Amino acid sequence: MRIAPTDVLANRLDRLRQGLDDRQLDGLIVTSLPNVAYLTGFFGSAGVALVTPEAIRLISDARYSEVVGQRQQEWPAIVPVIVSSALSYEEALSRELGDFTGSRIGFEESHLTVRRHRALTSTAPVGDTVEVVPTDGLVEELRTVKDDWEIGILRDGAARLSDVAKCILPKILEGLTEREVAGQLETELRRVGFERLAFDTIAAAGANAARPHHRAGDERIGRGDLVVTDFGGVLDGYAVDMTRTVIVGTSSARQRDVLEAVAAAQASALAAVGPGKAPEAIDAAARTTLVRAGYGEAFTHGTGHGLGLEVHERPRIGPPRDGRPESLLREGMVFTLEPGAYFSGWGGVRIEDDVLVTASGGEKLTDVPVFL
């Protein structure tokens, strides 16, 4: 697995420290594992990072002592802290905070359970000599704009995902079950080098395709069925995500019409992408195209979502929500465009590609014909 080089990590840390300074914070307790991975290059299943003015204390347990030690050798800004099995992570974190008397330290309010928060705040020095304050989305905001190193991986992942589609989708035949199609996609995802699936593969045939997130089951593909296949992989920690809708056998006029309308909606959304554009406007472009085609009611979900260390991350490309507008698009953002149209009892269509915001617009990273 490729880990971000130290100059890339140092740049992320500088940007985070700027955000902490702006909020008069001396440090940040990072409990979101994708955020820990982003800041430190540590991809373990348990860990907490304590970002301080001098270093990043990387707290993990004995299962990862070698990995954490190696991270420090590669980047001396990391200070390993191995939690002994007699201590909880919260106790270990409290001990570390003891070195920061008089400080204001943020924690991630979306990534600390009530139980962990209680454990942390009921133990000195928190509430005594150290103040902990909630923050929201500081690291996630940094993660929305990919650095060149991340864009290289996402580009590579999208090319491999496109190869998977081109290899497997033409082989979707009448008589196969949804689960067999999903299995073939998953075998190929591994073969082209993905380290794991980004999510459970979706293969939805016939009327099942009316459910956007149908789980592949024992349904057999029939002649003339629409089959929605939605699959993704994780490469070097980064998720890519694609959907194609295949027509098995001869297509009907209605199937072609819906497929063309969804493809046109995606093209409208892509044409609207660029730095400074509102994510809500990208969604509106896709939605308007489907409304004009007469399928507005059938488009029941948002147009897309950010991709990166998580398969669903910011920015959200959807209709306005809660009166809280999304931040405007910036060069270097990567997200999906995945409009769809679903009709109960008939089936559905979705087309999904991964898109990079460039200086002048949007560039599709996945490259597979819509009509295979």
Residue among 26, 10, 15 nearest 76 (CA): 10
Q: Which is nearer to Mn ion, 80 or 306 (CB)?
A: 306
Q: Which is nearer to Mn ion, 90 or 352 (CB)?
A: 352
Q: How far is the CB of 83 from ligand GLY (least distance, A)?
A: 34
* Distances 212 to 58, 231, 308, 338 between C-alpha atoms, Å: 39, 13, 22, 11
Q: Which of residues 311-340 bind Mn ion (CB under 5 A)?
A: 336
Q: Identify what 199 binds: Mn ion, ligand GLY, none; CB under 5 to 8 Å per kind.
A: ligand GLY
Q: Is 301 left (phi over 0), alpha (psi -120 to 50) or beta?
A: beta
With CB under 5 A as the contact rule, the residue among 90, 96, 230, 353 that binds Mn ion is: 230
Amino acid letter, 177: T
**Strands 202-205 and 226-235, bridge-based pairing:** antiparallel
Give me the residue whose beta carbon is nearest to ligand GLY: 230
Q: Which is nearer to ligand GLY, 41 or 302 (CB)?
A: 302
Going by the DSSP 8-state scheme, the letter that residue 78 receives in this structure is: E
**C-beta neighbour count of 86 within 10 angstroms:** 6
Q: Which is nearer to ligand GLY, 95 or 312 (CB)?
A: 312
Q: Which is nearer to ligand GLY, 140 or 230 (CB)?
A: 230
d(CA 299, CA 349): 10
d(CA 310, CA 5): 20
Angle of helix 279-292 relative to helix 253-272, nearest 10 degrees? 150
Q: How far is the CB of 199 from Mn ion (least distance, A)?
A: 7
Q: How far is the CB of 266 from ligand GLY (least distance, A)?
A: 13
Q: Which is nearer to ligand GLY, 186 or 241 (CB)?
A: 241
Amino acid letter, 306: G
Q: How far is the CB of 230 from Mn ion (least distance, A)?
A: 4
Q: Identify what 96 binds: ligand GLY, Mn ion, none; CB under 5 to 8 Å per kind.
A: none
Q: Which is nearer to ligand GLY, 326 or 338 (CB)?
A: 338
Q: Which is nearer to ligand GLY, 199 or 346 (CB)?
A: 199
Q: How far is the CB of 235 from ligand GLY (least distance, A)?
A: 16
**Residues in the site for ligand GLY, rule: CB under 6 A?**
199, 230, 241, 338, 352
Q: Identify what 326 binds: Mn ion, ligand GLY, none; CB under 5 to 8 Å per kind.
A: none
Q: How far is the CB of 241 from ligand GLY (least distance, A)?
A: 5
With CB under 5 A as the contact rule, the residue among 140, 241, 280, 354 that binds Mn ion is: 241
- Residues binding Mn ion: what is the number (CB under 5 A)? 5
Query: Is residue 203 classed exposed, middle or buried when 0-12, 13-18 and 19+ CB atoms within 10 A define those classes?
Result: buried
Q: How far is the CB of 310 from ligand GLY (least distance, A)?
A: 11
> In the Cβ-directed half-sphere of 308, how many Cα atoms lie within 13 Å?
27
- Whether residue 106 contacts residue 50, with contact meaning beta carbons closer than 8 Å, is answered with no
**C-beta neighbour count of 288 within 10 angstroms:** 15
Residue among 3, 71, 2 nearest 81 (CA): 71
Q: How far is the CB of 353 from ligand GLY (least distance, A)?
A: 11
- Residues of this chain that interact with Mn ion (CB under 5 A) are 230, 241, 243, 336, 352
